[in-house]
Amino acid sequence: MTTCRFAPSPTGFLHVGNLRTALFNFLFARKSGGCFILRLDDTDPERSRDEFADAIRFDLEWLGLEWDRLERQSARLDRYRTARDDLLASGRLYECFETQAELDLKRKKQRRLGRPPVYDRSALQLSETERQDLRASRPPHFRFLLHRHRAAWQDGILGETSIDVGSVSDPVLVRADGQFLYTLASVCDDIDFGVTDVVRGADHVTNTAIQVQIFEAMGGGVPGFAHHSLLTGRGGEALAKREGSLAIRDLRAAGVEPMALLSHLARLGSSHPVVLRGSVTELAAEFDLSRFGAAPAKFDPEDAAGLTARYLATLPVSAVSSDLAALGVPSAEAGAFWGAVRENIRTRSDIDHWWKFCTGGAEPLVDSEDAGFVAEALDLLPPRPWNSGTWSSWTSRVSEATGRRGRRLYLPLRKALTGRPQGPDMSKLMPLIRAAPEWPERRQANP
């Protein structure tokens, strides 16, 4: 069965960059009816925090990216210990004793000599006595002994990909303080959880070359790999370096709708145009990794905002019934009210403005050159109740009386009634307007 995982480290909030990875894995798994695992890479006790783990889960739930299985690396330390011992026994893991300062010095020397700063494996030259002496003075860290050949794989996005492992240092898999590093833990997990496909950012390409060797050394099946390009900000800047994050929680606070964001990210950077979809099932059905390119893709929050407005305009009243109820819209009026406003809001929080308007009116906006015209028109305003024909019969009478037509007729009247130059269809809005003290009718009585 196709099994994918999204493996964030709970060291920060989810942002659009990691969401793209989550979404690709989710859609890939769902498309083939497979399994989607949420794995929290929390082996670093200092940087991992429960509040971030909770926030990541909350964001994914809000987005509707439900996982079939949740795993935490911090609960699997015994497994990583066994893997360490097995790799030591097979000679693929070796003890090293250099301090950070010693390693820095070595790298400086190598650079001076024009050599790549690759670890020189001097720990392998130590005699058993030297090793024992060192063990007494400092705890060892452990490196994986790489085969120094060129690693090649058929990447699900990049196509034929190869990396010269000869220019990569043997990776540290276990730190001197005993902490297991992601490079090892991730491979153990991918093997144990039956992960068949790994989709992750292009910043992991070298890791893949290394991890393929660890999979093989541990006798596990090597999954398929696909590396997507990284997202940048509007100006092409790396998201991490961008002023202010593009955190999912910030986008949510700005009113972005999950399906607008997901529809955008499911196509951004691909050869398919962005199409607004109403469910993740639809996105999964048409998801195709091979359509994505290697070039970085620009994320502009304005696009997600525009799609949000378009998405809201498609929603039936049943999808916003709780929002309307919370504002006090009676259910008998909900359908008509939503039908009037849904194409004129950017976010759900804009609904409030129009309900307040219906129940309390608005401060009229009357340009000085229109003052006489508006006063004359208000005199012609028919008495309540108003219905869907009121706007057209009233504006016809006003037109006959004043000779105004088109924009010069409608715009000042819209501004006088709603206080804004744009908004919902007035024929739909007028029947919803309740009498209110500030309403022009009263001004009419006391000009």
* Min CB(8)–ligand GLU separation in Å: 5
Among 3, 4, 7, 225, binds ligand GLU (CB under 6 A): 7
Which lies closer to ligand GLU via its Cβ, residue 289 or residue 305?
A: 289
* Min CB(204)–ligand GLU separation in Å: 6
Which two three-digit tokens encode residue 227? 């590396």
Q: What is the DSSP string of 195-237?
A: --EEEEEGGGHHHHHHHHHHHHHTTPPPPEEEEEPPEE-TTS-
What is the footprint of ligand GLU within residues 393-412 (CB under 6 A)? none
Which residues are CB-neighbours of 198 under 8 A, at least 6 positions away? 4, 5, 190, 208, 223, 224, 225, 226
Stretch that binds ligand GLU, among 4-12, 82-90, 155-163, 381-389 (CB under 6 A): 4-12
Which lies closer to ligand GLU via its Cβ, residue 199 or residue 341?
A: 199
Q: Which x/- pattern, by CB under 6 A, does the window 93-132 give for ligand GLU?
A: ----------------------------------------
* Min CB(4)–ligand GLU separation in Å: 10
* Min CB(203)–ligand GLU separation in Å: 8
Which lies closer to ligand GLU via its Cβ, residue 25 or residue 418?
A: 25
Contact flag: residue 200 with ligand GLU (CB under 6 A): yes
Which residues are CB-neighbours of 270 under 8 A, at least 6 positions away? 288, 291, 292, 293
Tell me if 52 sits within 8 A of 18, measured CB to CB: no
Indicate left, alpha or beta for 244 from its phi (over 0: left) and psi (-120 to 50: alpha): left
State phi, psi for 125 to the nearest 5 degrees.
Answer: -85, -5
- Tell which residue, 159, 217, 157, has the closest CA to residue 187: 217
Among 182, 337, 354, 391, binds ligand GLU (CB under 6 A): 182
Which lies closer to ligand GLU via its Cβ, residue 204 or residue 414?
A: 204
The four Cα atoms 195, 201, 202, 204 give a dihedral, to 10 degrees, of: -60
What is the footprint of ligand GLU within residues 201-260 (CB under 6 A)? 204
Which lies closer to ligand GLU via its Cβ, residue 195 or residue 358?
A: 195
CA 122 – CA 120 distance, rounded (Å): 5
* Min CB(96)–ligand GLU separation in Å: 23
Q: Where are the alpha helices (DSSP H) in 64-160?
A: 77-89, 100-112, 128-137
Residues at the interface with ligand GLU (CB under 6 A): 7-9, 41, 182, 186, 200, 204
